[in-house]
Amino acid sequence: MPFREWTNRLRHLIGRRRFDLDLEDEMRLHFEMRTRALEESGLSQAEAATQAQREFRRDASTREQSREAWRFTWLEDFVADVRHSLRSFRRTPAFALTAVLSLALGIGATSTIYTAVDAVLWKPLPVEKPEQLVNFSVVRQQGAPADGPPAAFVSQLQKAGIFAGVSEADDDGLSFSYSDSSRAERIMGEVVSPNYFGVLGIKPFLGQGFSADVRSGKWAPEAVLSYSFWKRRFGGDPKVLGRTIYLNTYPFEIVGVSSPSILGIQRGLDDQLCIPILPPGREIQQIGLISGDPQQELGAVARLKAGSILAQAQGALDAQFEEFLRTTTDQRFRDSRVQSVRLVPGAWGFDDYVVAFRTPLIVLMILAGIVLIAACFNVANMLLARGAARAGEFALRASLGAGPLRLARQLLTESILLSLAGGALGLVFANWTAGALFGFLPQTNIRLAFDLHADWRALTFTFSIALFTGILFGLLPAFQATSGSTASVLKSDTPASTPRRHARFRKILVMAQVAFSLALLIAAGVFVETVSKLRPSGYAVNPSRVLLFTMKPQQEIYSDQRRLQISSELLQRVSEMPGVASVALAENGPLGARSNDYAVARPGREPIDASGDAVTPGFFDTVGIRRVSGRDFHVQDKLGAPLVAIVNESLVRLLYPHEEPLGQTLNIQMGKQNQSYRIIGVVTDTHYYDVHKPAGPFVWMAMWQNAPYMPTLFVRSKLASNAGMVPRVLAQFNAVNKGFPVFDIKTMADRVEDSLAGERMVANLSGVFGIVALMLAAVGLYGILAYSVSRRTREIGIRMALGARPRSVLWMVAREAFALVGSGSVAGLLIALAAFRPISHYLQATAPVQPTVAVACVLGMLLTALCALTVPAIRACRIDPLRALRHE
């Protein structure tokens, strides 16, 4: 049907009354004119009228046919279907409510997880034509490819004209201050080429981005704030433009506020402002990262020219890179450490900060899908039961001339209406829960943020899922309703005459529900087990009493000497505070976001890989790592004194298997330096950086023999509450110096939980999903049992009349229930065991299926079944034989 015809018919549908009046008018006119014409031709008035009347004898049918031409049959039928469905839902509100709620749970779960996965992994950057963006992957002779091509090559590319634009971008923490009186704050700053906003096609929310001068290559200290930072720190004040802020004490002018949707090209990273990189060769002392050093390697993003494809650009890029290697004066590249530069699609930005959440989120997506399937089974089951009860209605309609397709369409309309209502409600659920999901995100010295607004992608997903499930679970009852024979249903009035195979099918549905929910519960058990197995030991001595404060005295502002001095003064002051048991500094500390790896060796042997950290005296006791032998660092281990190290037992096992480790020499390679350390102590193995890997060799160095960079203060408190402690420690920081930021304030226990964020998220949510599926299974079970009891009313009545005791009736009902649950449980156990192998392959370090967990889950299942059984069983026992038989 052409579109034009469509709109015409629609318009007619709306102005139907008007049309009828018009037609009436028009035909009356025709009649009168005809009469007049006949009169004029010589007939008498009466004769003319009779003649005209004769010609118009099929007046009504003319009108009907004219109207028929306009009818919009399927739309009118659809409206009738919808009306009919709504009416029938109103008649059985309990059914409609249960169905909609079941679906809302299933769709809501799926939609929540989808929104999260989409925000974290799948959504392209909110910039203009993101598909044109490309990133660079630098292939080296050794090691993994890196993101950043050398700055000198980027400026060569900017002139080469292969791309519509090339821009550099990198992130770093900066100390931010707005006025001199308050403490400096930490912010994440994005350091970008002046053309950044142009290349990405971002329209700033306020201001014009960087000024024309800056964009043309003349640098000026300008900053563009992120929308969220502007809202939070400046209260959304539009007069903020032109004000001065201090970044690492250097004054910058605020020239703009970025658009609300863009959070930078690092996925998930909460950048707070953007500042321009200096032109090549220039630098300012306060901010190392923005210096125009042609040797540094920052992340880069380029926009392909319109119509150009990746392969073309790659060819041109290869030629440019060959030329770069030939002409560069930088010895590092002349040695061809870098082999080639490859272009990769950049529509999604860089995912370094979110890649850890990929596996947990996808596991959750699968689990949510299972919940949705269970919900669908539930509703299909309910619809089948309803269909059986309505067999009479359908038979009557069929005998009155409704075709099977018409009936099927009516049923499909009902199920789609249910699923759309469920989808709408699910969206409300999803809106609530998406925020809760991000409560699991670990916030460290690097803060993460995601745009979780339900956008058109989430809406489309939710409603297509709703529509799809509606059709899926609606087809079955539709098929059922149209397959029965009309005559047999109309003849007998008892529901017992509905075909047995539908009942059998419903039982299979319930069994599948039981199986799925059991599998989900067991999976939840496995995940919980995994979390508790991964939870690192070694910090067990009351980790919630250890307070952590991370600080960053910028090395551009504070000299090595000054940083050492500030740190030791701080330690001194805090250790004298009442309520403090012990205090220490560590460069990284356990289970934070930062880690270091070194090559360590016995002199003259092959080096091995070991992780490392730098700490002050008292660190092991403060954190709760047990010392095995030797001594702790002490204040005499300082700059100039002989270098000393403390190692863990793993390292001893690997390097000094049968010897006394104390006093041995250990060579540690740090950058280009290789220095010899004397081992003075041994501590137990702990999961220090990555809880997912077994504790490996580890070496600690004395912080006073180097200089701290971004150290964390560990304070073990003797007080019962941390709330009072935090401001008092912060006051000590202020007393020492206000020029550097203190951030990421939490307890050691928080760090332990954060290190398991992904696993905890999966464990908690799969538990919730399991319980939801269990509830759905209970509803399904109740449905089929209630139906079965009502179907067998007469049978039970006869049995009771013949002397059956309530106990045996009860047993009859219970037997059916436990047969279903039993077979479902067996299937669920099999599914869980079969699925376990691929899952444990996918998730590292998964605990095995514990028999106790499985047994507990099955018991839970049985208990739920018992609850679902109660009402139908009682009803069965209360059947009055007389009434049951008279009912026939």
Partner 1 sequence: MMILRSLKKGPLHGYAIAQRIREASENGLQVEAGSLYPALNRMLVKGWLKAEWGLSENNRRARFYSLTKTGRKQLEAETKQFEKVIRAIQLVMRTV
Q: Enumerate residues 6+ apart whose C-beta is below 8 A from 255.
A: 207, 208, 209, 210, 211, 222, 223, 224, 241, 242
Which range touches partner 1 (CB under 8 A), out of 19-27, 238-246, 454-462, 473-481?
A: 19-27
Mark the segment that binds partner 1 (CB under 8 A) among 53-61, 509-517, 706-714, 729-737.
53-61
Report the C-alpha gap between 541 and 537 in whole angstroms: 9
If the CB atoms of residues 6 and 842 are measured against partner 1, the closer one turns out to be 6
Q: Measured from the CB of residue 364, what is the shortest distance to partner 1 in angstroms?
A: 52
Exposed/middle/buried for residue 178 (C-beta within 10 Å: 0-12, 13-18, 19+): middle
Q: Using CB under 8 A, which of 16, 21, 22, 283 touches partner 1?
A: 22
Coil, helix or strand at residue 645: strand
Q: Which is nearer to partner 1, 23 or 804 (CB)?
A: 23
- Helix, strand, or coil (residue 599): strand
Q: Write out the binding residues for partner 1, residues 64-93 only, by CB under 8 A.
A: 65-70
| Least distance to partner 1, CB of residue 158, Å | 54
Question: With respect to partner 1, which residue has the nearer C-beta, 70 or 78?
Answer: 70
- Other Cβ atoms less than 10 A from the Cβ of 604: the count is 6
Q: Any contact of residue 55 with partner 1 (CB under 8 A)?
A: yes
4 interacts with partner 1 by CB under 8 A: yes
Residue from 10, 20, 21, 26 touching partner 1 (CB under 8 A): that is 26
Does the protein bind partner 1 through residue 39 (CB under 8 A)? no
The tokens of 731 are what? 């006051």
> If binding is defined by CB under 8 A, does position 27 make contact with partner 1?
yes
Q: Is 8 in the site for partner 1 (CB under 8 A)?
A: yes
Among 39, 50, 56, 602, binds partner 1 (CB under 8 A): 56
- The span of 5-13, 314-322, 525-533, 755-763 binding partner 1 (CB under 8 A) equals 5-13
Contact region for partner 1 (CB under 8 A) — 21-29, 178-186, 690-698, 705-713? 21-29
Where does this chain touch partner 1 (CB under 8 A) — which range of 62-70, 252-260, 292-300, 397-405? 62-70
What ranges in 277-401 are assigned the alpha helix state H?
Answer: 310-327, 331-334, 358-389, 391-399
Q: Give the Cα-Cα-Cα angle 380, 419, 461 (nearest 5 degrees).
A: 120
H helix intervals, 205-309: 212-215, 227-234
Terminal C-alpha separation, the chain: 53
Residue 258: what are its φ and ψ, rounded to 5°?
A: -70, 165
**Which of the ranges 55-63, 490-498, 697-705, 860-868 carries the binding residues for partner 1, by CB under 8 A?**
55-63
Does 216 sit near partner 1 (CB under 8 A)? no
Given a contact cutoff of 8 angstroms between Cβ atoms, the answer to whether 714 and 548 are in contact is yes
Stretch that binds partner 1, among 54-62, 436-444, 479-487, 775-783 (CB under 8 A): 54-62
Closest CA to 148 of 135, 165, 134: 135
Q: Using the rule CB under 8 A, is 327 a contact of partner 1? A: no
Residues in 742-801 that interact with partner 1 by CB under 8 A: none
In the bound state with partner 1, the residue whose beta carbon lies nearer, of 39 and 753, is: 39
Stretch that binds partner 1, among 26-34, 397-405, 543-551, 733-741 (CB under 8 A): 26-34
Q: How far is it, in rounded angstroms, from Cα 110 to Cα 777?
A: 18
DSSP state of 120: I
When asked if residue 62 is in the footprint of partner 1 (CB under 8 A), the reply is yes
Q: Which residues pair with 551 in a beta bridge?
A: 742
Cα separation, 73 vs 50, in Å, equals: 37
Q: Of the two residues 22 and 659, which places its CB atom closer to partner 1 in the complex? A: 22
Candidate list 10, 18, 45, 58; residue touching partner 1; CB under 8 A: 58
12 binds partner 1 per the rule CB under 8 A: yes
Residue 83 identity: R
Q: Number of C-alpha atoms within 13 angstroms, CB side, residue 272?
A: 20
Query: Do the Cβ atoms of 270 and 449 come closer than 8 Å?
Result: yes
Least distance to partner 1, CB of residue 82, Å: 24
Please select the residue that binds partner 1; options are 61, 295, 537, 572, rule is CB under 8 A. 61
CB of 53 to partner 1, least distance (A): 11
Q: How far is the CB of 56 from partner 1 (least distance, A)?
A: 6
CA 150 – CA 331 distance, rounded (Å)? 13
Distance separating alpha carbons of residues 604 and 622, to the nearest angstrom: 36
Residue type, 775: M
The rounded distance, in Å, linking the Cα atoms of 729 and 748 is: 16
**Among the listed residues 10, 21, 33, 212, the single contact to partner 1 using CB under 8 A:** 33
Cβ-proximal residues to 520 (8 Å cutoff; 6+ apart), any chain: 367, 370, 371, 374, 766, 769, 770, 773
Contact residues toward partner 1 (CB under 8 A) are: 2, 4-5, 8-9, 12, 22-23, 25-27, 29-31, 33-34, 37, 55-56, 58, 61-63, 65-70
